[in-house]
Amino acid sequence: MNIVILTGAGISAESGLGTFRDKDALWAQYRIEDVATPGAYARNPALVHEFYNLRRQGLRAAVPNAAHFALAELERRHQSGFLVVTQNVDDLHQRAGSQNVLAMHGELQNALCANCGHVWLAPDLMFPEDRCTRCEAMSCRPDIVWFGENVRFLDQINEATQTADLFALIGTSGNVHPAAGLMNLARECGAATVEINLEPSTVAFAADRVILGRATEQVPVWVAELLSE
């Protein structure tokens, strides 16, 4: 049985990391076009770095929660295909022990050189004057996929989704494509689908089963159920 799990900010909320679209969440405090687009970086790189420096500080203080650990345990005990596709730029799945993780929106802990493509571990604070550790260009950016840029691993993600027997969506509002279309794609290709969220996502119509509640409570229960089948 092939399992694909799609996660979003909701799975990391109880680790203390902010979500994007809940009440008082990040996109209520910042405008996407000011901090999360290539245009924003061209206009005001200092503000963009400040936004991601704050996110990186938050991540350094965060630890994986029971939902991340439950998914890592499921992967360890599952006999065949297993993939976590995450929209999150934190590394909490990996730190919980998940092995097969595709971070489709990039990785906050890394810096990326816009000039040569080099990727390295970001310092705590990044500034527009920073130089690439390989080519020395003054074009260092967070290793994040911004709005208007292509998400990563899309071919691999589509293929895994199309061959999934079970697809679970956890802690995402379903507002950002292409991630938002994956559960429906999985269902059209024959997978059983489940959603675990505080509130139903915009794509809950594509879920065979919707479990409402906190990820730290509901994910471990759902994983225990699967492992006992």
User: Binding residues for ligand OAD, per CB under 6 A?
Assistant: 8-10, 13-14, 19-22, 25, 36, 87, 105, 145, 171-173, 175-176, 197-199, 201, 214-215
Q: CA–CA separation, 187 vs 223, rounded Å? A: 20
- Nearer Cβ to ligand OAD, position 80 or 173? 173
Q: Is 147 helix (H, G, I), strand (E, B) or coil?
A: coil
- Nearer Cβ to ligand OAD, position 68 or 187? 68
- Nearer Cβ to ligand OAD, position 87 or 161? 87
In angstroms, give the least distance from the CB of 186 to ligand OAD: 17
Q: Tokens 């074009």 — which residue?
A: 139
- Nearer Cβ to ligand OAD, position 135 or 221? 221
In angstroms, give the least distance from the CB of 113 to ligand OAD: 19
In angstroms, give the least distance from the CB of 135 to ligand OAD: 26
Which is the catalytic residue, given 49, 68, 93, 105? Answer: 105
78 is a catalytic site residue: no
In angstroms, give the least distance from the CB of 107 to ligand OAD: 12
Contacts of 3 (CB under 8 A, 6+ apart): 74, 78, 81, 82, 83, 164, 165, 166, 167, 168
Q: Tokens 């229960």 — which residue?
A: 221
The per-type count for the chain, helices as H runs and strands as E runs, is 10, 9
CA distances from 86 to 11, 27, 28, 105, 127 (A): 10, 19, 22, 8, 27
Catalytic residues: 105
